[in-house]
Amino acid sequence: MKIDPQQVEDAARELYIRAVKLLPPDIKQGFAGLVKRETDATAQGVLGTMLVNIQVAEDTDNLLCQDTGIPIYNVRIGRNVELDGFAMKQAIRKGCERATREHPLRSSVVHPVTRKNEHSSCGRHVPVIHIDFCSDEELLEIEMIPKGSGSENNSFLKMAIPADGVDAIKTFVIDCVLEAGGKTCPPTIVGVGVGGTADLCVHLSKVAATRALGSRCSDREGAKLEEALTEAGNMLGVGPQGLGGDSTAFAVHVETAATHITMNPVAVNMQCHSARRARATFRPAGLEYGY
């Protein structure tokens, strides 16, 4: 299967626009579950307002949140896909720029020192592009995630002491959720990375934070941590928008990696209640958009 860079560019543009306007079905179902379980009257009202915002955005073809975030593109390439890798990355960047300027979207991307904004949602090493490979014979998949600063500012890393065991992991995650409070626009998806190196651990925490609700960690021990931490997190009383209640998190997601015998990194990355993402899948039969 041969992929034309122009197809990638057009898809990258469309994905950004879709992601900032349409909330994935699993997140809507997550809201429904929280509303059903919430016991605090104020929290029920806040959740109701969030649901109205989601509906109004869809009805008026508008943005779910004014923060268009740092654009992240995750690319998976199948075995028999023919493409120019460099051209693909350039096409994603151009599609990102076009979405920002043609739609238009607010550009949230600036130079880290001068704070200059090019009004393109692009800059040095941005959009962030992750490339991986899969066993599918003819498949190119591009996922777009606009990661807002409210959630991204609540990112944490701890090089835990292995002798402190699982309790150190749990304590650190709960402390991070309390530290974030309402700043990350809860209810959140709390992403936790455990193991690897410092940089891999942080990356895994973001992979966890941006996974679909209802998915489980493929590692048995990670899945056990998810269950325990989700229950503990929703006992903290932070609640939606930090105003109190049972609905602090849709879920806690965990991703694990093997690590060194003398260290145990733990990272936390959070996703706000507007957990946006969009996906384009190229197959021989054509292009399909989804979540």
- pLDDT tens readout for residues 124-145: 999 999 999 999 999 999 999 9
Residue found by looking up tokens 């960690």 in the block? 217
Measured on CA atoms in the order 52, 55, 61, 63, is the torsion positive or negative?
Answer: positive
Mean pLDDT, the chain, integer: 96
User: Do residues 80 and 1 touch, judged by C-beta distance below 8 A?
Assistant: yes
Distance, CA of 110 to CA of 126 (rounded, Å): 10
What pLDDT is recorded for position 73?
98
Q: What angle do CA 144, 149, 155 make, to 5 degrees?
A: 95
Phi and psi based region of residue 241 (left: phi greater than 0; alpha: psi -120 to 50; beta: remaining) = left
Distance, CA of 160 to CA of 266 (rounded, Å): 7
User: What is the mean predicted confidence (pLDDT) over 2-28?
Assistant: 97
- The backbone torsions φ and ψ at residue 211, rounded to the nearest 5 degrees and listed phi first, read -70, 155
What pLDDT is recorded for position 42?
96
CA-to-CA separations, 189 to 98, 160, 185, 254, 259, in angstroms, rounded: 30, 22, 10, 10, 24
- The backbone torsions φ and ψ at residue 89, rounded to the nearest 5 degrees and listed phi first, read -65, -40
Distance, CA of 291 to CA of 254 (rounded, Å): 20
Name the band, by pLDDT with cuts 50, 70 and 90, for residue 288: very high
Distance, CA of 161 to CA of 144 (rounded, Å): 35
What pLDDT is recorded for position 173?
98
What pLDDT is recorded for position 253?
98
User: What is the mean predicted confidence (pLDDT) over 199-204?
Assistant: 98
What are 244-282's pLDDT values in tens digits? 999 999 999 999 999 999 999 999 999 999 999 999 999
Distance, CA of 228 to CA of 30 (rounded, Å): 18
Query: Could you tell me where the beta strands, DSSP code E, fall in the chain?
Result: 70-77, 128-133, 140-147, 155-160, 188-195, 249-257, 264-271, 278-283, 286-290
Distance, CA of 253 to CA of 140 (rounded, Å): 26
List, in order of start, the domains of the chain with CATH numbers.
5-20+64-148+275-290 (3.30.1330), 150-271 (no CATH)
Q: Reduced to 3 states, what is the DSSP secondary structure of residue 16?
A: helix
Q: What angle do CA 156, 159, 163 make, to 5 degrees?
A: 135
User: What is the mean predicted confidence (pLDDT) over 40-59?
Assistant: 96
Name the band, by pLDDT with cuts 50, 70 and 90, for residue 116: very high
User: What is the mean predicted confidence (pLDDT) over 208-231?
Assistant: 97
What are 148-201's pLDDT values in tens digits? 999 999 999 999 999 999 999 999 999 999 999 999 999 999 999 999 999 999
What pLDDT is recorded for position 104?
85
pTM, entire model: 0.95
User: Do residues 277 and 145 touch, judged by C-beta distance below 8 A?
Assistant: yes
User: Do residues 58 and 121 touch, judged by C-beta distance below 8 A?
Assistant: no
The residues, any chain, with a CB within 8 Å of residue 37's CB and separated by 6 or more, are 246, 247
